A and B are shown apart, each in its own frame.
Chain A
Amino acid sequence: GAVVSQHPSRVICKSGTSVKIECRSLDFQATTMFWYRQFPKQSLMLMATSNEGSKATYEQGVEKDKFLINHASLTLSTLTVTSAHPEDSSFYICSARDYNRGLSPPLHFGNGTRLTVT
Chain B
Amino acid sequence: ELKVEQNPLFLSMQEGKNYTIYCNYSTTSDRLYWYRQDPGKSLESLFVLLSNGAVKQEGRLMASLDTKARLSTLHITAAVHDLSATYFCVGETSGSRLTFGEGTQLTVNP
Q: Which residues of B contact A44 (CB under 8 A)?
A: 43, 88, 98, 100
Bound complex: CA of A114 vs CA of B96, how far in Å? 24
Bound complex: CA of A42 vs CA of B33, how far in Å? 18
Q: CB distance A32 to B96 under 8 Å? A: yes
Q: CB distance B98 to A34 under 8 Å? A: yes
A93 to chain B, nearest CB (A): 6
Q: CB distance B42 to A112 under 8 Å? A: yes
Residues of A near any B CB (own CB < 8 A): 6, 32, 34, 36, 42-46, 49, 93, 95, 97, 104, 106-107, 109-112, 114
Q: CB distance A93 to B103 under 8 Å? A: no
Residues of B near any A CB (own CB < 8 A): 31, 33, 40-43, 45, 48, 50, 88, 95-103
Interface of A is mostly: strand
Q: Which residues of A contact B40 (CB under 8 A)?
A: 114
Residue of A95, A97, A107, A111 touching B41 (CB-CB under 8 A): A111
The total number of A-B Cβ pairs within 8 Å is 45
A95 to chain B, nearest CB (A): 8
Which partner residue on chain A sits nearest B90 by CB separation?
A: A44
A36 to chain B, nearest CB (A): 8
Residue of B88, B95, B96, B99 touching A107 (CB-CB under 8 A): B96
5 pairs of A and B residues whose beta carbons are closest in the complex: A112-B42, A43-B100, A111-B42, A44-B100, A109-B43
Q: CB distance A43 to B103 under 8 Å? A: yes
Bound complex: CA of A107 vs CA of B101, how far in Å? 17
With contact pairs A43-B88, A43-B103, A104-B50 given, residues A112 and B98 touching in the complex (Cβ less than 8 Å): no
